[in-house]
Structure 1
Amino acid sequence: MSFAPQPSPPTMDRKPQPTLTLTGTLDREVTHRLCEEARATLQATGADVLVCDVAGVGPPVLAAIDALARLQLTARRAGGRIRVRNPAPALRELLDLVGLPIEVEVGRETEQREPPGRVQEAVEARDPPF
């Protein structure tokens, strides 16, 4: 009995995951600068994921959510995405509240967040009226 040789497992050639550190209060000017830096970093490294370390971000206000949304949009336009590292519990709750679909890294594990649910638009004939 003869067996065909088993192919070797594919090598996992992981692209580097550059890190962008966000600190302080994130206003429009800072957000614009961060987006430019994110675009340049993703293009220069060819990475798929840009890790945004948000441990030093000020209180979780909507300006922080706006900055993360703009960074995610910038990364998508550059062919990648962002992953948030070290978010404060209040920032995680605010991300959940607004439904922004961003990966969150907790410790060494990545939590894949689900997009917000959709509203049912069609009614089946068998559904009771409310």
Structure 2
Amino acid sequence: MNGVSAGMLVALVVAGGAGAGIRYVLDVLLMQGRRDAFPVGILVINVTGSGLLGLLTGLGTLVAADWLAVLGIGLLGGYTTFSTVSVDTIQLMRRGRRDWAIVNLVGTFAMAVIAAAIGIVIGGLLPG
């Protein structure tokens, strides 16, 4: 596999599965009793995941490339989810909540980008 070791592939798969599991548990906890409410759980997940990936990126050479891949691509890739934002946005529109749909789509994007930028800045401030 063009430069990817079997061990790295296993680490990515395990980390991705762990990230997806953490996302599921956190979303269930945040949305408990709020079935038809605004999908705040996925919003929180995507914003925190973007911030954490920004932090990892901002740390630069303090994080080895293999660890950056396992944590960034694997764990945080499994944790965050653009596809759920897309489906939630369509479901909100189908329920007649255009206002929530727009806030979900635009708000998720804006807050995730801001969180990533903050993470990169914070990571860059740490001594290396």
Normalised TM-score (structure 2)? 0.30
Q: Give the greater-gyration-radius structure (CA).
A: 1
More contact order relative to length (CA 8 Å, sep ≥ 6)? 2
Q: Which has a greater percent of helix?
A: 2
Select the structure that is richer in strand. Answer: 1
